[in-house]
Amino acid sequence: METFIAIYIFILAAFTGYEVISKVPVILHTPMMSGSNFIHGIVLVGAMIALGFAETGLEKTIGFIGVFLAAGNALGGYVATERMLEMFKSSKKDAE
């Protein structure tokens, strides 16, 4: 990968993240943190690749732990966020 292309991606992604969260009401800070916590669960893809190409026993063991942890991040993060946001939906209905 061209180093400069990667730097461009880093910078643009950083601005995107900054923009997306700068207009969030305080009400949504916790669900938002939980949601962004879920999104870095994409580390699962990397952990799968690391384990998928692991050869020695040591690499496989660490890779396995990696996939295990990453799957926890992704699924736990999803369910936690979903449960929180579900309440917002129901409260909205009650209010109306």
Partner 1 sequence: MLSSEIIIQACYLIAAIVFILGLKRMSSPTTARLGIVWAGGGMLLATAATFFTPGMGNIELIIIAIVVGGGLAWITAKKVAMTDMPQMIALYNGMGGGAAAAIAAVEMFKVHDLEISVEILAIIGGIIGAISFSGSIIAFGKLQGIIKGSFRFKGQNVVNLLMMLLLILISITILMDFELMRNPVVAVFIIALIFGIAMTLPIGGADMPVVISLYNALTGLAVGFEGYVLQNYAMIIAGTVVGAAGTLLTQLMAKAMNRSLGNVLFSGFGDQSISAEGGTENQGEMKPIESSDASIMMAFAQKVIIIPGYGMAVAQAQQKVWEFSQLLIERGVDVKFAIHPVAGRMPGHMNVLLAEAGVPYDLIYDADEINQEFKNCDVALVIGANDVVNPVARTDPSSPIYGMPILDADYSANIIVVKRGQGAGFSGIQNSLFFLDNTRMLYGDGQEVAASLVQTIKEL
Instruction: Name residues contacting partner 1, limited to 3-42 (CB under 8 A).
Output: 3, 6, 9-10, 13-18, 20-42
In this structure, the number of other CB atoms found within 10 A of the CB of residue 81 comes to: 20
Residue 41 CB, nearest approach to partner 1 (Å): 6
Tell me which residues in 50-89 interact with partner 1 (CB under 8 A): 50-56, 58-60, 62-89
| Residue 54, φ and ψ in degrees, nearest 5 | -75, 140
Residue 57 CB, nearest approach to partner 1 (Å): 11
Residue 38 CB, nearest approach to partner 1 (Å): 6
How many chain residues are in contact with partner 1, going by CB under 8 A? 84
Question: Which residue type sits at 33?
Answer: M
In this structure, the number of other CB atoms found within 10 A of the CB of residue 37 comes to: 16
Does 1 help bind partner 1 (rule: CB under 8 A)?
A: yes
Q: What is the DSSP letter of 56?
A: S
Cα–Cα distance list, 73 to 34, 65, 83 (Å): 10, 12, 15
Residue 95 CB, nearest approach to partner 1 (Å): 3
